[in-house]
Amino acid sequence: MAGSGEWWREAVFYEIYIRSFADSNGDGIGDLRGARERLPYLRDLGVDAIWLTPFYPSPGADHGYDVSNYVDVDPMFGTLADFDDLVSAAHDLSIRLIVDIVPNHTSSEHPWFTEDRSRYVTVPAGGGLPNNWPSNFGGPAWTLDEERNEWYLHLFAPEQPDLDWHEERVRSDFEDILRFWLDRGVDGFRIDVAHALVKDASLADEPDVPLAPFASDWRRAIDQPEVHDVYRSWRRLADSYDGDRVLVGEIVFSDQRRLAPYLRADELHLAFNFSLVFQP
């Protein structure tokens, strides 16, 4: 594999949006076998690692970022055996592979949501919207489920209800999910909206609803102190595996001083740098 010991510091990562990258069977949809067939091409480009976008079962409300099962492969992309073949073939060519994990929210079709919803941020109905938090996709971040007589939070689409990371069961479930993929040989994870997992438990109003992209300057809906406990736990888990597994955070801040704490020695290894997005 490309280097050893902190290989990620110098590595060239290549994003594969699985649906459109390479179609192995002519059905018009990219798939895991297609990605496997193109590995020699990526090696010849000088790629050290692949970031694989979500390939999990999903209704497709947000390009696969609405996951209905975190420990399987969507049949349109192949099977778990195809995934294992991709990992093995990549490693044979000294290419590492990290996968997207989406821990802020699930699909509204996930069994956790269709059943008791104890893992989600919900508020009993009555008296209007619970607070002034807006969705990144427009409109309020709350949808009223009239059948259950409760509001549920979604910082993105209504089909993407937010998990409640104050719940110990959510933390335990996701450590099991990480282990499932680490045991299959993945070299790490790209963590979707990594700064947004934990919300202010009071659900107090944001003092100023921001205009910045992806609500990067929110204070209550994202970037709560407890999120660092999550990543310290994930880092301990990643470090318990051999091969120097890596955690990469998608953290969208205009202020680099808010980004830096996520990259402490016992938290994430890497983070996306969005600072240029916010420049004039």
Sequence ranges of the domains in the chain: 7-105+165-278
Does domain 7-105+165-278 match CATH 3.20.20.80?
A: yes
Please report the pLDDT score of residue 239 as a whole number.
97
Please report the pLDDT score of residue 213 as a whole number.
47
Q: In this structure, what are the phi and psi dihedrals at residue 228, rounded to the nearest 5 degrees? A: -70, -30
What SS3 state is found at 179?
A: helix
Q: Taking Cα atoms as reference points, which of 219, 223, 195, 224 lies closest to residue 207?
A: 219
Burial 165-204 (b: 16+ CB within 10 A, else e): beeeebbebbeebbeebbeebbbbbbbbbbbbbbbbeebe
Q: Which residues are catalytic?
A: 192, 250
Q: What's the Cα-to-Cα distance from 212 to each of 66, 86, 258, rounded to whole Å?
A: 23, 38, 15
Q: Report the largest interatomic distance among the alpha carbons of the chain, rounded to a whole angstrom.
A: 60
Distance separating alpha carbons of residues 130 and 36, to the nearest angstrom = 47
Q: Taking Cα atoms as reference points, which of 180, 116, 185, 125 lies closest to residue 149?
A: 125
Please report the pLDDT score of residue 30 as a whole number.
98
Please report the pLDDT score of residue 1 as a whole number.
52
Rg (CA), the chain: 19
Give the model confidence (pLDDT) of 23-51 as tens digits: 999 999 999 999 999 999 999 999 999 99
pLDDT per residue of the chain (280 residues) written in tens, 0 to 9: 544 579 999 999 999 999 999 999 999 999 999 999 999 999 999 999 999 999 999 999 999 999 999 999 999 999 999 999 999 999 999 999 999 999 999 999 999 999 999 999 999 999 899 999 989 888 999 999 999 999 999 999 999 999 999 999 999 999 999 999 999 999 999 999 999 999 999 999 988 765 554 556 678 899 999 999 999 999 999 999 999 999 999 998 888 899 999 999 999 999 998 888 888 8
Cβ contact 230:197 at 8 Å: yes
Please report the pLDDT score of residue 218 as a whole number.
75
Judge if pTM exceeds 0.75: yes
